């Protein structure tokens, strides 16, 4: 068994696609109309056949309160691996990304947390 697709709940798929591709650097893999929304996935450019991230609409009534509670408590919705948290922090800050947690070293793992502009906090992490 392996992870094929994981999701992040977004308030606007087009805004999310722009942020996740133009700012974070993912590439669009799939875009298929499904009613009013799309099956819209992105992947790492280094692993185009790897795990896909589904930019899933947050239209279900439970989504917005769930996301809001996570943000209010400072809890990231998901985490992405990076080779150097400090370098990625500086790169993303230069692009205007708002961080809620600057790089923090915690016994062999360094993390930082940012706002994805789509209603989520996202963590970046590097295990040393």
For the chain, which domains are there? 5-127 (3.10.180.10)
- CA nearest neighbour of 83 among 52, 125, 25, 20: 125
How crowded is the C-beta side of 122, counted as CA atoms within 13 Å?
A: 25
Structure confidence by residue, pLDDT tens digits, 70-80: 999 999 999 99
Strands 121-127 and 78-81: parallel
Structure confidence by residue, pLDDT tens digits, 41-83: 999 999 999 999 999 999 999 999 999 999 999 999 999 999 9
How many percent of the chain have pLDDT more than 70? Answer: 100
Q: Is the dihedral of CA 91, 26, 77, 118 positive or negative?
A: positive
**pTM score of the predicted model:** 0.95
Distance CA 103, CA 30 (A): 32
């Amino acid at each position: 068994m392996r992870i094929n697709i994981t999701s992040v709940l977004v308030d606007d798929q087009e805004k999310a696609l722009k942020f996740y591709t133009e700012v974070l650097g993912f590439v669009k893999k799939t875009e298929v109309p499904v009613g009013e929304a799309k099956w819209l996935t992105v992947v790492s450019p280094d692993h185009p056949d790897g795990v896909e991230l589904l930019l899933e609409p947050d239209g279900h009534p439970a989504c917005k309160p769930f996301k809001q509670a996570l943000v209010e408590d400072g809890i990231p919705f998901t985490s992405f691996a990076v080779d150097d948290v400090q370098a990625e922090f500086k790169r993303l800050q230069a692009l205007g990304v708002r961080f809620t947690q600057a790089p923090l070293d915690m016994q062999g793992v360094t993390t930082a947390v940012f706002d994805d502009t789509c209603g989520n906090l996202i963590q970046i992490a590097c295990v040393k």
